[in-house]
Structure 1
Amino acid sequence: MHSEFVIAIHSLVLLAYTPDRLRTSDNIANSIVIHPVRVRKVLSVLRKHGYIASKEGAKGGFYLSRVPDAIHLDELYALFTDGSVMPKWPELNPKCPIGGHIETAMEGIFEAGEQELKRHFHQYTIADVLERVQHTT
């Protein structure tokens, strides 16, 4: 799975945790302990797809533009990680009875696994993750 997926979840949960407070990319990056540029790239995608909005200026920052219980994890998976279950095969020998066909044979298996993962993620929202975080503190 790509780290952008978990960065997106973390960012949205943090924004849901403090809905009355704007968060800067530096503030979010500090919570995740990563470089703010990585956070900004993820926030840019989230803003483009209507999950967050921002206010410009010295007291600006990011805030949720959708309610946390309306943001399902499968949506975020689709934005940042879709297709990650399918492996990148090494160069295969087309003359080998296995190497020449294994990639094609496995495509349906990996696709079914990815669809199952999406169904699993659809059961959870940002509100659910926030609730789980709050129960662990």
Structure 2
Amino acid sequence: MNSEFTIAVHSLVYLAYVPDRMATSEMIADNVGTHSARVRKVMSLLRRSGYVDTREGAGGGYRLTIDPDVVTLGDIYRVMAQGSLMPSWCSGNPEMDCVVGSNMKQVMDGIFCRAEKQLEDHFSAITIQDVLGQIHDCK
């Protein structure tokens, strides 16, 4: 899992919370607790994927272009972090003359793929509005 996913979800929930106004990267960064450059990077991916729109200049910023009741964390995960559960290195060597060493990577790849599918399924049952509702329940 990467932090960009968390920043994306937080940013979209914040924009759903303030639907009648634009939010600058500085406003979002302050709310998320990170640097505005990281927010702009994440928001750029979200804009290219059609989740937010931007307006430059005075009064500009970001706004949602999606329905928070429809977009799920699974949708955001696929844009921001799909494949991040899979480690970049796995032990073993397919050339080894040992059944364990020669098959470990293939077996672990399958385990991580199934785990990621379960995570995506879980995230796909949670909308941006659901997250906002849980935040309201914390009061």
Q: TM-score, normalised by structure 1?
A: 0.93
Q: Does the alignment pair 1:45 with 2:73? A: no
Per the alignment, residue 89 of structure 1 pairs with 89
- Residue-pair matches, total: 137
* Superposition deviation, residue 96 in structure 1: 5.7
Deviations 1:70-114 (A, max 9, x none): 111101101111111212225645436222220112222211111
* Cα shift at 1:51: 0.5
1:70 aligned counterpart, secondary structure: coil
Q: SS of 1:62's equivalent?
A: strand
Cα separation, 1, equivalents of 2:27 and 2:51? 18
Q: For residues 84 and 96 of structure 1, do their structure 2 counterparts lie closer, same or farther at Cα, with a shift above 3 Å needed?
A: farther
User: With structure 2 as the length reference, what TM-score do the two structures score?
Assistant: 0.92
The alignment-based identity, stated in percent, is 45
1:103 maps to 105
| 1:76 correspondence with 2:71 | no
Deviates more, 1:93-102 or 1:1-10: 93-102
Residue 55 of structure 1: how far off its partner (Å): 1.6
What RMSD, in angstroms, separates the aligned Cα atoms of the two structures?
Answer: 1.4
What secondary structure, in the 3-state scheme, does the structure 1 residue paired with 2:119 have?
helix
Is 1:126 aligned with 2:108? no
Is 1:35 aligned to 2:38, yes or no? Answer: no
Classify the secondary structure of the residue corresponding to 1:100: helix
Q: 4+ residue stretches of structure 1 with deviation over 3 A?
A: 90-94
Structure 1 residue 52, shift from structure 2 partner: 0.6
Which 5+ residue runs of structure 1 have no aligned equivalent?
Answer: none
**Structure 2 letter corresponding to 1:87:** P
Give the distance between the partners of 1:90 and 1:73, measured in 2 at CA: 28
Report the alpha carbon displacement of residue 44 of structure 1 after superposing the two structures with TM: 0.4
| Amino acid in the other structure paired with 1:64 | L
Aligned to 1:67: 67
